[in-house]
Chains A and B, each alone.
Chain A
Amino acid sequence: MDPAYVEIVPLGPLDPALPAALAAQIPTVFGLPCTTGRPEALPAAAFDAGRGQYSARALIDHLARGRSTAIRRLGMTNVDLCSSIMRYVFGEAMLGGRCAIVSIHRLGAGGANPAGLDKTHLLARAVKEGIHELGHTFDLVHCDDPKCVMAASSDVAHVDAKSFVPCGYCRIALADGLARPAGIRRNGGR
C-alpha cells in the first residue's frame, strides 16, 4: 500500500513558487508528505458567468473526480472563487472531506489588495489559507484564537494576523482527524 500523502493540484496558470511553498509547510503541520501534481486547466463548467467567478464547490467536485492515490487533494488557483451563499471565498473544503480548494485571488494577487504586496507576503498568505482549508478536511473547525491557522478569515488582515500552525487545542483535534479516514465525520453529522 502506498504511504499516505497530500497532493497539491495547480488549477489554471499559477506561479510555481506558491504550491512549492505550501508543499514545504504541509509536512510540518500534518506530518504527511506532500507532492505537487501536474497543473490542470480550470474546468469551464465551474465558471459562473452570472457572477463572473468560479464556483469553489464545482472545483472541489472536479478535484474529487481526478485520478490520484493521495489521501487529500488541495487545489490551488488564482481565480476569484464564490459559493452558492457567499459573495466570495478565499477557499473551500468539506469537513472531513477529501478535497479542498484555495485561491490567491483575494489574498493580494487578483486586485483586491493590489500594488505593493511583495511576493513573500503573498506566499505567506497563500500557505496559511492552504493549511487552513486542508485543516477542514481533517475535521478542524474555525478556532477563536486569532493566531491559530484555523481562525476564520474574511479579509487579508485576519490572514496576516494568524500563524502558519494550529494552536495547541487544534493540534489535539488534528491528531484525531488524522486518525480518521476521509469521509468519516466527527459526531455523525459533522
Chain B
Amino acid sequence: MRKKTRILVVDDELAIRVSLGEWLRRDGHHVEVAECGAAALELIKTQSFDVMIVDIKMPGMNGLEVLEEVRKIDPDLPNVMMTAYGSIESAVEAMKLGATDYVVKPFDPAEIGMLVKRILEHRRLRREHELLKHRESKFAEIGLLAGDSAALRKVFDLVDDVAATDSVVLITGESGTGKELVARAIHSKSARSQGPFVAVNFGALTETLIESELFGHEKGAFTGAGAPKPGLFELAASGTLFLDEIGDASPKLQIDLLRVIQERRFRRVGGVRDVEADFRVLSATNRDLEKAVAEGTFRMDLYYRLNVIQIHVPSLRERREDIPALARHFLEKFRVRLNKQVASISPEAMELLTNHDWPGNVRELENAIERAVVVGKERRVLPGDLPIALQRVSIEPIDETLDAHENAYIATKLKQYDWNISRTAQALGIDRGTLYAKIKKYDLSQGK
C-alpha cells in the first residue's frame, strides 16, 4: 500500500543515468533522470521527489550549484552527491553546503540501497517531529474505548473490517465518545500503520489557519511566511489523515478538501508544483451531516466522498453496561496518578454513575471520577464525592428532555467556572469548539 519513493538521478553521463536508474527501479523505487542541472530544476519545479542523487562534476551547472538552486525550491529535499574516487574534497564541500550525504563512484551494490533507506528513515523521523509540533489534539486515553458491550464490540468488528482496506471512513458519534481513538485504531491495524497518523480539528482552528496547516506554504506566500513549510497533507504521506469535526469545515475548505480527495494531489499555498497526496482519509463528526447536506451547509459531493463506510461510536447512554468497568478503570488511573488510597466505588455511587445520562460521554465520566478521587476522604468513592449534577439525578428524577438537561448542565458549569471557556470545556470533557457550539445552540449568555 505504500507509495513508491520518488528518486531523481542527475548525471550528464547516459551510462550512469541508465545504470543507477535501473538499479534503483529494481529496488522498487520510481526514478526520473535528468542529464543536467537545468533539467533537474525543471523537474523539481513540477514534481515532488523524496531523494535527489546528483553528480558533483557536470558541465555547465555543477552538482554544488544544482544543490544551491534546489534549496531555493525545495529546501527539505534530501540529496546525495556522487563523486569520483579522488575528489572527496568537493564532497566535503557539498556536505558543508547542506548535502545530506555523498557516495564515491563506483559503489558497492549494497551501499546505495542502504543510503536511500537511511535517508528515508531520517526524513520520516523528521516529519514525525514536525507532526508532534503540529498536533493540537492531545493523545486521548485508551480508556475512552474500554468496555465489552455489544454496541462497542460491533464498533471493534467494523474497525477490523475496514482496517484491512484503504477505504474512506466517516466516524460519527457524540463528543467524548472516542471517535479519534477509533480512527487511531483503524490506522494502527492498517497497512499504513508504519506511516504517520495526522489529526486536524476543524472545530478548533480558523479557516485561514487550517488552510495553511493543511496545504503548507512556500516562502513569501503571505506576510509572515518567511520560510517554506510542509502542510499536514504532506506530513501525512504514506499514513492516515484524520479530519476531526469535519462538519465544521467552511464552504471554501469543503471545496479544497473535495479537490484534494478527488485529484489526489495539491499545491502548497503560493506554490506552483503539484504534490502527490498519498494518505488514507478518515473523518469524524458529532453533527448530523445528512441534515447539514439537506440544509445546504455541507456539500453533498464531499459527504458522499467521505461517507463510503460509516462507523457510529455509541454514546455512553447506549452502552451503560460498560460504565462500571470504565469507572473502575479511571479510578485506578487517578488513584495511581494522584497517589490516593481510594480503592473502590460504593454501590450507591456506582448506581448514580450508571443512571446518569452523561452528555459529555466517557470524558465526562473520567472527569467525574477524577473529581471524586481528589475530593474523597474515604477508601471508597461515596455519592457525595461525585459532581452535584449526578447527585441530583437520584433525588430529583428528571422528566425534561435530554436537550433541556444538557442546557441546564452546561449553564451550571459555565457559571461555576465564571464563563472561563477553557476550564468549563475541560470540566465537561469536551473541546472548546464543541462548547462554543453548545452555547450557540442553547443561546446561553453570561447575563442569563
Contacts and interface: CB of A to CB of B under 8 A. Distances in A.
A89 B109 contact: yes
23 contacts: A83-B19, A83-B106, A84-B16, A84-B106, A85-B20, A86-B109, A87-B106, A87-B109, A88-B108, A89-B109, A90-B109, A95-B26, A136-B26, A141-B25, A141-B28, A142-B26, A142-B28, A152-B26, A152-B27, A154-B109, A155-B110, A189-B30, A190-B30
A83 B26 CA distance: 14
A151 to B, nearest CB: 11
A82 interface: yes
A148 interface: no
A3 B287 CA distance: 63
Nearest to A87: B106
Contact of B26 (A141, A155, A187): A141
B108 A85 contact: no
Nearest to B14: A84
A10 B210 CA distance: 64
A131 interface: no
A84 B19 CA distance: 6
B31 interface: yes
A57 interface: yes
Contact of A85 (B25, B105, B113): B105
A62 B413 CA distance: 84
A87 B107 contact: yes
Given A84-B16, A85-B16, A187-B30, 20 more contacts: A57-B15, A83-B19, A84-B13, A84-B18, A85-B105, A85-B107, A85-B112, A86-B107, A87-B106, A88-B109, A94-B22, A95-B25, A95-B26, A136-B26, A141-B25, A141-B28, A152-B113, A189-B25, A189-B30, A190-B30
Contacts of B15: 57, 84
Interface residues of A, number: 22
B30 A142 contact: no
Interface string B386-420: 00000000000000000000000000000000000
A174 B103 CA distance: 33
Contact of B27 (A85, A86, A141): A141
A82 B26 CA distance: 16
Interface of A: 57, 82-90, 93-95, 136, 141-142, 152, 154-155, 187, 189-190
A17 B109 CA distance: 28
B26 A85 contact: no
Nearest to B31: A189
B303 interface: no
Given A85-B105, A142-B28, A154-B108, A95 B113 contact: no
B156 interface: no
Nearest to B4: A187
Contacts of B105: 85
A152 B333 CA distance: 49
Main secondary structure of the interface of A (DSSP, over half): loop
Contacts of B107: 85-87
A174 B20 CA distance: 23
Nearest to B29: A141
Contacts of B23: 83, 85-86
Contacts of B109: 86-90, 152, 154
B18, B106, B107, B113: residue with the most chain A Cβ atoms closer than 10 Å:
B106
Contacts of A83: 19, 23, 106
B13, B19, B32, B113: residue with the most chain A Cβ atoms closer than 10 Å:
B19
Given A57-B19, A141-B25, A190-B25, A85 B106 contact: yes
Given A154-B108, A154-B109, A85 B19 contact: yes
Contacts of A89: 109
A59 to B, nearest CB: 13
A49 to B, nearest CB: 15
A86 B27 CA distance: 14
A98 to B, nearest CB: 14
Contacts of A86: 19, 23, 106-109
A23 B191 CA distance: 38
A184 to B, nearest CB: 15
Interface in B7-65: 13, 15-16, 18-20, 22-23, 25-28, 30-32
Given A84-B13, A84-B106, A142 B19 contact: no
A187 B28 CA distance: 12
B288 to A, nearest CB: 42
Contacts of B108: 86-88, 154
A87 B109 CA distance: 7
A23 to B, nearest CB: 24
A58 to B, nearest CB: 10
B323 to A, nearest CB: 46
B29 to A, nearest CB: 8
Contacts of A84: 13, 15-16, 18-20, 106
6 closest A-B pairs (Cβ-Cβ)? Answer: A154-B110, A84-B15, A141-B28, A84-B19, A154-B109, A85-B19
Contacts of A95: 22, 25-26
Nearest to A57: B19
A87 to B, nearest CB: 5
B118 to A, nearest CB: 15
A78 to B, nearest CB: 19
